[in-house]
Structure 1
Amino acid sequence: MTTPAYIELVFENVESIILKPDRFLKLEFGPLVKDEDNHTQYDQFFTDEVLIHISYEDASELAYSPAKSDNPLGGYTHNPDSNHVADRPNILGRLLLYPDLTHIYYIDENENEISSVIVPWSEEDEYQNEYMTVTTEPGYVEVRVRKG
């Protein structure tokens, strides 16, 4: 895959957070299978496993509470607040709230998709992904999604 300017993590409710690639200490996938039914201008892949380590420097970066934010992620169109973690460090904590990561987008400097990976999701789960676990370690958040 092409080296992106940013990586966007997209959640079930269409919220997302955008990070620079250097925040990813680890971004690994199981075998990638190209989505042959994809009708977008970029390549899209399926996988059975995702392992992500995202760095953080201070626990305050993980203290995201949508109920306490004037403009939480998503919620409505044209949200005036950025979904870039560099602008709002605490939104990294969105990963800890709900296990509902659905897609990983590689995006360019204009935030156009270069390619994407569809995260494994159980057909029986409507809002949360039973395959997903999130843990915090000193200095990084680990996200693991493994089918089966």
Structure 2
Amino acid sequence: MENVAFIEMVFENCESIVIPINRVKRMEFGTLTPFEHYPYKGLSAFRSEYGLLDLIYQNESELHYNDSDYEEFLEPFIGNKLSNHVEERPNILGRILNYNDIVMIQFLDQNQQHIKNIYVPWHEDDREENRYMLKEANNGILNIEIRVR
């Protein structure tokens, strides 16, 4: 997709991680169905049948994230002094391994303005954990798969 400079992984609790596109080795989605009445004007949003992502990490330390080590969440709210950008805090990639709660992937341009939002499948029986999400880290690749099984 042209003009995409970052993707933003958005989690169930509104935390997010901003990842530069050069760290995305593979990104694949199923059929995209547009939201007919998306509440945020000017943004395009879609539901996807599935989402597959392979993210590149440089070394194992980038996967060691403990949220209790920090006073603030990974939220881009005003006044939060902690960055949610992988470029500035590589270890926050580990947040993906700690929880199964990715809700949406946002596509951002160079100015971090939203281009498109893609919502991945979510198992409705659990409000905090996405039972459809699997992830694995091996040999510098963090593989994320979210699909109905």
TM-score by length of 1: 0.93
Match of 1:107 in 2: 108
Instruction: Find runs of 4+ consecutive structure 1 residues off by over 4 angstroms.
Output: none
Match of 1:23 in 2: 23
Q: Is the 8 A contact 1:2 1:114 kept in 2?
A: no
Match of 1:3 in 2: 3
RMSD, aligned CA: 1.7
Q: Is the 8 A contact 2:76 2:83 kept in 1?
A: no
Deviation for aligned residue 1:138: 0.7
5+ residue gaps, structure 1: none
Match of 2:118 in 1: 117
User: Paired residues, what number?
Assistant: 148
Q: Is the 8 A contact 1:6 1:108 kept in 2?
A: yes
Deviation for aligned residue 1:77: 5.0
Deviation for aligned residue 1:71: 3.7
Q: Is the 8 A contact 2:16 2:76 kept in 1?
A: no
Match of 1:13 in 2: 13
Q: Is the 8 A contact 2:76 2:84 kept in 1?
A: no
Q: Secondary structure at the match of 2:144?
A: strand
Q: Secondary structure at the match of 1:117?
A: strand
Quote the Cα distance in structure 1 between the aligned partners of 2:80 and 2:144: 26
Match of 2:37 in 1: 37
CA deviations on 1:73-116 (whole Å, 9 max, x unpaired) are: 23975211111000000001000111000010011223221111
Q: Is the 8 A contact 1:100 1:129 kept in 2?
A: yes
The amino acid that maps onto 2:35 is D
Instruction: Work out the percentage of aligned pairs sharing the same amino acid.
Output: 36
Q: Is the 8 A contact 1:132 1:145 kept in 2?
A: yes
